[in-house]
Amino acid sequence: MTLDHVGIAVKDLEEARQTYLTLGFEVGPVEELPERKLRIAMVRLGESNLELLCPTDPDSPVGKFLAKNGPGIQHLCYRVDNIDKKIEELRAAGVRLIDEKARPGAHGTRVAFVHPASVGGVLTEFCEHARA
């Protein structure tokens, strides 16, 4: 498994993009994820990325995170070859899942979240990238 990305909750996506551009990173374009009530932008680091997450609705998971904690690291995501198999393994191991089935993530990925209660307080995501 590889660390795919670190999800960072931000209040202002343009300001956050500018911050990382100023730090010298390569920052991708804004992507709209209406089904997750998010606008996101990826900061490219090579194998791993930062995922800047800006909620479009205060009632969404990231919106609630921002209200409670303010901006900052929101989740870690690990890349796997087969998300369906991973979900089955996690379920069999008694891990508390937020997503019982994989759902669409950003740019063609399929993702599933594990409840932070099962991972020492860390909201944890697994993702499978579309095969080329």
Which residues would be at the binding site for Co ion (CB under 5 A)? 7, 51, 77, 125
Task: Give, in order, the Cα–Cα distances in Å from 30 to each of 14, 21, 106.
Answer: 9, 13, 11
Q: How far is the CB of 41 from Co ion (least distance, A)?
A: 12
Q: How far is the CB of 122 from Co ion (least distance, A)?
A: 13
Angle at 76 between CA 23 and CA 56, to 5 degrees: 75
Q: How far is the CB of 92 from Co ion (least distance, A)?
A: 24
In this structure, the dihedral spanned by the alpha carbons of residues 88, 49, 109 and 132, taken in order and rounded to 10 degrees, is -110
* C-beta of 107 vs 131, nearer to Co ion: 107
* C-beta of 59 vs 61, nearer to Co ion: 61
Spatial separation of the C-alpha atoms in residues 6 and 50, rounded to whole Å: 5
* C-beta of 92 vs 105, nearer to Co ion: 105
Q: Are 7 and 51 in contact (CB under 8 A)?
A: yes
Q: How far is the CB of 34 from Co ion (least distance, A)?
A: 16
* C-beta of 22 vs 121, nearer to Co ion: 121
**91, 67, 86, 78: which is closest to 127 by C-alpha?**
78
